[in-house]
Structure 1
Amino acid sequence: MNEYVVGIDIGSSKVCAAAGRLDRNNKIQIIGITSTPCSGLKRGIVVDIDSTADGIIKALEQLERMIDSKIKDIYISISGEICEITSNRGVVAVSAEDREITKNDVDRVLKAAKIISVPSDKEIVGVVPEQFVVDGYDNITDPVGMCGMRLEVDAQIIMCQSTIISNLFKSINKAGFQSKGIVFQPIATALAVMNSEEMKIGTLLLDIGAETTNISVFKDNKLVLNDKLPLGGNTITNDISLCLKLPQSESEKIKIKYGNITDAFDNEDFKIKINANYDSIVEVSNNLLNDIIAARIEEIMYLLKKKLDLHGYLEEISGIVVIGGGISLVKGSIDICREILGKPVRIGIPEYIGAENTMYSSAIGVVKDVISSGKVDFKEEKITKEKKKSDVKSIWNDEDDEDNDEENDEGFFSKIKDFFTDFF
């Protein structure tokens, strides 16, 4: 699996997988995307290795059929709720004689930033550079190609408990795949649904999942706040199940189908017929259902407002981007968020054909992060392919001259094939 970068997002209710690559114009192209149910994780922690592995297998098998290619290596996202972030500075001397900074120097300074005291039960899973400093000049985003004698970096060091990472890798290995790297989920998701202006001026990324609501604030292109609320879409489902005495599965279905807390539907009450346990039909008031949903969403938004105010970012943010299928898909939830927090709110949707759904944000973000950071060099792969073609051509040249016409025909059809391969 060399032509594509595959990113997966393992959540509490589903596994999402995306495959992407660079097209001929050096733009990231998402070729395939899929999702399958999974119940092996709870709040970012593996609670059932077999169930998690099964969800990964099903998602990647579907993705293999979509892209018509075998998948071996994958990149995974790790939830912000289980990570700890600390800041550190790395310093190195530029190694080249002409004092030109290379990618090797950048790799060295990032490794230097990782030299910190790490608790015995934790490990470093990632380094996110905030800014580079060259000979005292700061706010540099990409120092490669610049000249200097001293290279520094201010970086965020991401740590996680070793047992959590170990169980996640075991699930992936049991599924028959190999993890080539970890991407921090809040940053990956921001790459997929936020623009550069939002990352700069101060924006809240609200990821409402099944079990938790993750809070990420970005300002000056940096992640300045990473927090969570222990409430999500399943909380509303549980409320419906308890109040209306319905099975969890039926509660989830009517939440998605009839959930509507807009003002226009306040007076339009009707009865919803539900097939409850033992094949009995139960009638539920639509207004009562939506009162239950609205009450919990309002509580989550007030808790969110309190959390932002506590950290001092309520007045700092200029807008809110909401993702996740837990609450954002309920009609009217965005209006409540806008009313309580007093900020412009929009739903974050990836701008890729066939992937215009908030639940795919993290998987697409993993692909974008891996490709944009240069972890995969597609140019080398292209050179390898060209070398193979030239080797084949040299074999043809050793044949008799009478086969030259067939060689030209083969070359023509080969070019046509390569064109369509690159195009699609």
Structure 2
Amino acid sequence: MLRWIIFIVVYIVMGLYTLQALKTVTRYPWVYYLFITVAVLVLGNFVYQFTLGEEEGRVLSRSKSYAFGFLLTVLSFQLVTILFLFSEDIFRFFSSVYFKFSGRSKEFTLPERRKFLSMIGLGLAAIPFGALLYGMYKGKYNFKVLKYNLEFDDLPEAFDGYQITQISDVHSGSFDNREKIEYAIDLINKQKSDVILFTGDMVNNKAEEMLPWSDLFSTLEATDGKFSVLGNHDYGDYVDWETEEAKHKNLEDLKALQRDMGFDLLLNENRYLQKGEDKIALVGVENWGRGGFKKAGDLKKAVANVNQEDFKILMSHDPSHWEDVVLHDDYHYHLTLSGHTHGMQFGIEIPGWVKWSPVKWRYKYWAGIYNELGQYINVNRGFGFLGYPGRVGIWPEITVITLKKRA
């Protein structure tokens, strides 16, 4: 309760400070009332959703996600405005001190805020405000197909030109637009890849979240089939289950559902992809993550009956597994496919120029292709979204990788 009181007080103080900027820029009262109304409604909805609203254990429902998203949008507007105006207020304060003690002014009075500075502050604050709204309205379904050609010295001849489509982090419990998901599924099939690989987090928490979408994902097609592994959200660890049996059943239901959709689910297992006499090993581990995430992945078990000299593709949900375990394993894993980070669903990417997201402070390998010790990893930015119901700058990704034999 105390945390809620502190949060509400801070929010109100920030709102009042931002209101001063609006009063400096315009004299129209309707602008003030509009800002106050929006700020109050957003705060009220957030408090309601996370206290008296729908209770689902620790599940972040769709209504809670949007309450969080709108709160984040308003807070970003307030915070940027406050940071800009606070720097001016510091200048105003020290100016007043100087004039008072230098004898140029008999009283200690703060000079008025400059209108043009308040306008600049509000203009800058409008950028993240608008971006976060756009991210919720359109950005979350702004699917991008990213294509890479990767060359290997020891790729079997028959697999020269072999095409892989990777998707990850579907988070079906967050979807709210069937037409957009139909478009994305069609986009995947249009790539006409040899194989489709899904690298975990089919749901947010519960297998039932996938039921409305299973018919669409069942239509995914590839010549050599489609394979999947589990991500940290697939185990149902973020729900307060009534019994362990209910939690176990949920996981088994999800496994069965994936198989019903045509996915070959690899649980610390491997399969061989065969072309004539040539073959490559496809290895799939359960989730293994650093920093408190589930460590069910067993790499040694997954490569049982795989020869050390085989060309290997590893599916592992969390890229920290590649960094901490896979890179330094006795076996050489030519290509690892991961997801998990979502690119934080927020950042700036201009190909060839800028690639930045706050998630880089937590994950060294957070999006795209990396090469270390002669081994590649692709960290998929994710197909869906979680928490903040949108994406800004880091768009939902369908990865297409073509394997090439180095000449």
Higher relative contact order (CA 8 A, sep 6+): 2
The interval holding the TM-score normalised by the smaller chain is: under 0.3
TM-score, structure 2 as length reference: 0.26
TM-score, structure 1 as length reference: 0.25
